Amino acid sequence: ASTLTYGAIRGAIQSLDDPHTWFAEPEEAERIREATSGQYTGVGAVVNESEAGNVIIVHPFEGGPADQAGLLAGDIILEVNGTDTASLTLEQAVSRIRGPEGTPVRLVVERVGMEEPFEVELLRAEIEVPSVEWEMLDEEIGYLKINDFRVNAPDQVHTALAELLALGAERLVLDLRDNPGGLLSSSIDIASEFIAEGIIVTERNSNSEGDEHVSRGDGLATEIPMVVLVNTGTASAAEIVAGAVQDHQRGMLIGETTLGKGSVQSPIDLSDGSHLRLTIAHWFTPDGQLIHGDGLHPDLEVPLAEEDLANDRDPQLDAAVEYLQQRSGR
């Protein structure tokens, strides 16, 4: 298709004034498809926008190029291949950090405690993003982090919960921070692990017709005291799970207000490889709260500053553990 056609499509979409209805040309569409498959070629790190508008590393994946090069949580990426990241959106910066396997990418990095930024060249590699990570924090508190809601996430969550319970977990921290979401079906399956019965989420289209999605009713962790960690990176399907836990009073939400991405997009692949996503409905929590726009407000507001990341501190997780320990009378 011609540049003119693409321009006309973009113009029509802009007139809708909906940031979640968007169009991607073939090359960009392919990168998006890679990311949602759980595999992509890049440097292997969760990133976010820093306070100054650059890119901050939230979590390098173990064994990935960023980790092997010694990059740390809290490091600020100032430049990608000579381009100032403050001049790019987060999506544009991520798109430039990614690229074909084995090709180099040059980053200029600022680190707390170092006077001068330093340059590092990484070779892009194929990254397999784990949907789920888990561990025991002490003898009684299990920790379960869900990175996204891809198709295999429910099975991974089920396995992780079974193992945590077998290890003696009597309380649980569910970490949904920086989880961009994924599949609606995965969010319902995962919420059902914690909520025995009732509505998980209601989907309403432009005619206000509501489609109620209820718990599957066979969860492993429907009684265990729990805390859900959320932040501004908690979006979409992750907000469905957090909202259901909050409304059913199954657990405390700790952290920061979530993104507020509660709309449903219909994906349309076009014949030339380009991709269109159109908003067709919105999600409401069990108590009827619209997720879209304002997001979910935590029961306990605990900020996480950039210097916390850089110094390997996690006051949000600390608050969750403290709350759960109080619940056990310790």
Residue tagged active-site, from 50, 95, 187, 236? 236
Q: Is 23 helix (H, G, I), strand (E, B) or coil?
A: strand
In CATH terms, is domain 132-327 a member of 3.90.226.10?
yes
Q: pTM of the full predicted structure?
A: 0.85
Residue limits of CATH 2.30.42.10 in the chain: 41-128
Q: Which fold has domain 41-128?
A: Pdz3 Domain (2.30.42)
CA distance 144 to 135: 7
Q: Please answer whether residues 158 and 193 qualify as being in contact, where contact means their C-beta atoms are separated by less than 8 angstroms.
A: yes
Catalytic site residue 261?
yes
Tokens 């553990």: give the residue.
321
pLDDT tens string, the chain, 330 residues long: the values are 688 999 999 999 999 988 888 898 998 888 777 766 667 899 999 998 898 999 999 989 989 999 999 999 999 999 999 999 999 888 889 989 999 999 999 999 999 999 999 999 999 999 988 899 999 999 999 999 999 999 899 999 999 999 999 999 999 999 999 999 989 999 999 999 999 999 999 999 878 778 999 999 999 999 999 999 999 999 999 999 999 999 999 999 999 999 999 998 888 999 999 999 899 999 999 999 999 999 999 999 999 998 999 899 999 999 999 999 998 755
Residue limits of CATH 3.90.226.10 in the chain: 132-327
Catalytic site residue 145?
no
Residue tagged active-site, from 75, 186, 261, 263? 261
Who contacts 76 (Cβ-Cβ below 8 Å, separation ≥6)? Answer: 50, 52, 54, 55, 56, 57, 109, 110, 111, 306
Catalytic site residue 236?
yes
Q: How many residues are present in the chain? A: 330
CA distance 32 to 92: 12
Residue tagged active-site, from 175, 247, 274, 314? 247
